[in-house]
């Protein structure tokens, strides 16, 4: 490592770490160090080995070769999170809190304070309250985790780590599920932690964010260490190039003009559900329609209702010119309407199953011949899908949970496309995936539209909405607040509608 001489000594240092899972190598002699009071971003495409490196740094995995040094001394980190005692805390992407316990109980879980053999709740509560006040988090120590928002839960994780005197905080995509506002709160928290001397490692796919808050950046590609540099020497474009190893000039495909006279394939009129209030819009053949808005604006709820995943209270839906009543998911699929969930781990894929049953699950009736599943057809479909969507799995018999996020997303896309939908709703098409895969997915969406498939893209990432959509509908609190086309599709306009600063009179 080319450490600057003036820099303070590293708290934790990974030296020439290699790691193989069985015969499969995933890290090749990677080195990285974290100093007190710095934010060290770890970036790379999905499958580059970031998660593995983080798990090795926090003791969840043992390196196959190489050393971990803690305060300059060779250390062997205890497994399963016990490294917390040494001040090294990993905050998982899927947060690790007991949902039914309170904030206080979670923070002190496993090291409860006792007085005379009984829990000293008052003391614990006071300490938790003090930490919450420091963060400026407006929740009570007695609140149940299940009643908190994701952002609040994340803050509780941080409080938990801080209260355990964490010196190294390792975070896996902490901002992936946060709104813009919550992200700002998170940044402020990171600043405070830095000032108190905590070293922070974080993984992010948002390169602007990396540029904004990281002091140093380590780039991995295909398990190899590419570079570690101060972030002031890097631009987001440079980072993207180093991650991918090639020019990324065209992240978004060239926009093909939408045919404004194309037939209407979906017309929704005055749709009302529990979370949706009087929503009307239409979709044309071959159009890419964006749905923007803040998290919780009701975008997902609209399409879950249309696709039969949630009950409809009132309103009419016309599909391909015919009135349809409430449909089941299977009926929607059979007329050519498919919804791809944003929650690929909980609602999208069976993580403990292999790729083949996952791929064909949605369109399974298509694979039934003489009452039995046609395995040959399934195998062929898998081969086709792997080619068409460039799903990269080292071993085709691997369970899907072991695939990287980007490959999971491609497999999920393949699963939905297996039924050849004419309208496909893609909810957060690129959540938590790397820039190379993002590019592939954008091009795929554009190609679909060019073939005459209508695509609805629900996304909280404004650049992608702006980059690929012909028309953008903005929602806020269950209503549609604006419809943007052409040059009006820009961040400023979208934000004003999304935040409720501007509102179009519809109808």
CB 407 within 8 A of CB 438: no
Which positions ≥6 away from 111 have C-beta within 8 Å?
164
For residue 96, how many other CB atoms are within 10 A of its CB? 14
Q: Which is nearer to another protein, 197 or 365 (CB)?
A: 365
Q: Choose one: 158-166, 179-187, 199-207, 353-361; the region binding another protein (CB under 8 A).
A: 353-361
State the minimum distance, in angstroms, from the CB of residue 272 to another protein.
Answer: 22
Quick check: 339 binds another protein (CB under 8 A)? yes
- Contact (Cβ atoms closer than 8 angstroms) between residue 258 and residue 286: yes
Dump the DSSP string for 335-359. HTEEEE-S-IIIII--TTSBHHHHH
**Torsional sign, CA 256, 257, 263, 264:** positive
Choosing from 364, 393, 483, 495, the residue that interacts with another protein (CB under 8 A) is 364
Q: Is 365 exposed, middle or buried (0-12, 13-18, 19+ CB in 10 A)?
A: exposed
Residue 332 interacts with another protein (CB under 8 A): yes or no: yes
Within 6-65, the residues that bind another protein by CB under 8 A are 21-23, 61-62
Number of residues in contact with another protein, rule: CB under 8 A? 37
Buried b (16+ CB within 10 A) or exposed e, 37-50: ebbbbbbbbbbbbb
**Residue 335 contacts another protein per CB under 8 A:** no
Task: Indicate which single residue of 115, 232, 347, 388 sits in contact with another protein (rule: CB under 8 A).
Answer: 347
Out of 2, 325, 372, 486, the residue judged to bind another protein by CB under 8 A: 372
CB of 333 to another protein, least distance (A): 5
- Which run of H or E residues covers position 288? strand 288-293
Residue 261 found at the interface with another protein (CB under 8 A): no
Q: Compare residues 365 and 452 and give the one whose CB is closer to another protein.
A: 365
Q: C-alpha 153: how far from its chain's center?
A: 16
The residue among 415 and 438 lying less far from another protein, judged by its C-beta, is: 415
Q: Is 191 in the site for another protein (CB under 8 A)?
A: no
Report the DSSP pairing between strands 199-203 and 168-172.
parallel
With CB under 8 A as the contact rule, the residue among 348, 421, 432, 478 that binds another protein is 348
* Residues 388-407 contacting another protein, CB under 8 A: 395, 397
Q: Which residues bind another protein (CB under 8 A)?
A: 21-23, 61-62, 309, 328-330, 332-333, 339, 341, 343, 346-354, 357, 361-362, 364-365, 367-368, 371-373, 375, 395, 397, 415
């Amino acid at each position: 490592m080319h450490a600057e001489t003036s820099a303070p000594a590293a708290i934790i240092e990974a030296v020439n770490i290699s790691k193989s899972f069985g015969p499969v190598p995933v890290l090749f002699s990677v080195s990285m160090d974290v100093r007190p009071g710095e934010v060290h971003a770890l970036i790379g495409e999905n499958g580059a080995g970031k998660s593995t490196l983080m798990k090795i740094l926090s003791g969840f995995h043992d390196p196959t070769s190489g050393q971990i040094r803690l305060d300059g001394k060779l250390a062997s980190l205890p497994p399963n999170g016990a490294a917390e005692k040494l001040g090294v805390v990993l905050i998982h992407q899927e947060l690790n809190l007991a949902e039914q316990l309170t904030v206080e109980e979670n923070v002190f879980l496993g090291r409860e304070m006792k007085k005379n053999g009984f829990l000293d709740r008052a003391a614990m509560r006071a300490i938790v309250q003090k930490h919450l006040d420091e963060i400026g988090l407006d929740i009570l120590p007695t609140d149940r985790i299940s009643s908190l928002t994701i952002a609040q839960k994340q803050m509780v994780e941080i409080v938990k780590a801080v209260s355990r005197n964490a010196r190294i905080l390792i975070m896996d995509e902490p901002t992936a599920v946060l709104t813009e506002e919550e992200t700002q709160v998170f940044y402020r928290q990171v600043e405070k932690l830095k000032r108190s001397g905590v070293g922070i490692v974080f993984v992010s796919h948002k390169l602007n964010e990396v540029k904004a808050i990281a002091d140093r950046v380590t780039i991995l590609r295909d398990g190899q260490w590419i570079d570690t540099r101060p972030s002031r020497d890097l631009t987001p474009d440079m980072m993207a190039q180093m991650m991918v190893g090639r020019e990324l000039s065209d992240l978004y495909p060239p926009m093909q003009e939408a045919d404004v006279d194309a037939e209407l394939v979906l017309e929704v009129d005055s749709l009302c559900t529990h979370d949706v209030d009087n929503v009307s819009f239409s979709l044309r053949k071959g159009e890419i329609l964006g749905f923007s808005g803040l998290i919780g604006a009701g975008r997902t709820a609209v399409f879950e209702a249309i696709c039969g995943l949630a009950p409809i209270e009132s309103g009419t839906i016309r599909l391909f010119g015919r009135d349809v009543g409430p449909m089941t998911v299977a009926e929607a699929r059979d007329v050519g309407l498919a919804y791809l969930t944003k929650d690929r781990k909980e609602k999208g894929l069976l993580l403990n199953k292999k790729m083949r049953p996952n791929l064909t699950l949605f369109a399974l009736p298509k694979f039934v011949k003489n009452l039995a599943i046609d395995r040959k057809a399934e195998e062929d479909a898998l081969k086709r899908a792997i080619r068409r969507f460039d799903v990269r799995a080292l071993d085709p018999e691997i369970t899907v949970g072991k695939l990287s996020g980007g490959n999971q997303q491609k497999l999920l896309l393949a699963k939905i496309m297996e039924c050849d939908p004419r309208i496909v709703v893609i909810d957060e098409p690129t959540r938590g995936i790397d820039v190379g895969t993002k590019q592939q997915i954008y091009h795929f969406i554009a190609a679909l539209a060019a073939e005459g498939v209508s695509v609805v893209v629900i996304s909280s990432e404004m650049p992608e909405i702006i980059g690929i959509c012909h028309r953008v509908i903005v929602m806020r609190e269950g209503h549609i607040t604006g419809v943007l086309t052409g040059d009006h599709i820009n961040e400023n306009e979208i934000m004003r509608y999304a935040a409720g600063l501007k509102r179009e009179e519809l109808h």
